[in-house]
Structure 1
């Protein structure tokens, strides 16, 4: 990604797809990633379950970091129906459900797919992904820093 800030219609776009917010690091990592993407001139959109989006909204009530937030199912439908797509898609994965979301994105989107795999069993979950995607993997549950460092590499 270019580190030059781009705005307007031609700016690159990124989707941050959040499933169940069961693992504590998900919310802070999503906000961090939105901030980092904006710094690179990328317009972030968060799609998530109602619970995941509410946690994000409460953590950033004035929207300084998060950009747009949309319903997960509506987002998937729009991409599947070719009404919308993103240049990059970051799918947060900590269980089989996250793997399924990433697999769905792999099948319906033309964007660069990055699976952000975290949690107590990150390596085991990563091993179950057989479709093409980049993997960012760290055993992060409460401390987001292992994934922050790896995301910085992806964003460089």
Structure 2
């Protein structure tokens, strides 16, 4: 089950903010192109949305419930090379903090939504932050993600 550094883990929060799903599919596609072994973790609602959005598993080939993923990180079963956490509320910030303490690799936290700046201030862990008040339009967040991950043209 271990990715041994070639795995990319995308952690999604509650799917109430529309940009999250678009960016998750976009990031999964780009990571797949870069030959990462992509795994998406989230609650059952967000995973169902992804299954409906990508029924042929073109972008998201593997998914896992978030609690199980955290257990696997804690037990040492899972060792991704990079982890991208999407956070638009306090729970997302808490998950990002938990992931930081279970994962020593490259951590990118995408903070978005109406309260993005305030939430980002709560993020007191070593990580790369992408912060944008995006709710419906993922354009600015996509450009920032491209820059951080080296996909910018």
Q: Specify if TM > 0.5.
A: yes
Q: Secondary structure at the match of 1:135?
A: strand
Distance of aligned partners of 1:11 and 1:127 in 2 relative to their CA distance in 1, 3 Å threshold? closer
Aligned positions, number: 148
Q: Secondary structure at the match of 1:92?
A: strand
Q: Does 1:132 align with 2:126?
A: yes
- In the superposition, the TM-score normalised over structure 1's length comes to 0.91
- 2-structure distance, mates of 1:78, 1:19: 18
- After superposition, what is the alpha-carbon deviation per residue over 1:77-105, rounded to whole angstroms, capped at 9, x for unaligned? 01001111211010000011000000001
Q: How far is 1:39 from its partner?
A: 1.4
Deviation >6 Å, runs of 4+: none
Q: How far is 1:10 from its partner?
A: 7.2
Matches within 5 A, 1:54-133: 54-133=48-127
Which of residues 29, 42, 55 in structure 1 aligns to 2:23?
29
- In the superposition, the TM-score normalised over structure 2's length comes to 0.93
User: Structure 2: any 5+ residue segments left out of the alignment?
Assistant: none
- 1-structure distance, mates of 2:16, 2:126: 26
Q: Secondary structure at the match of 2:99?
A: helix
User: Structure 1: any 5+ residue segments left out of the alignment?
Assistant: 1-8
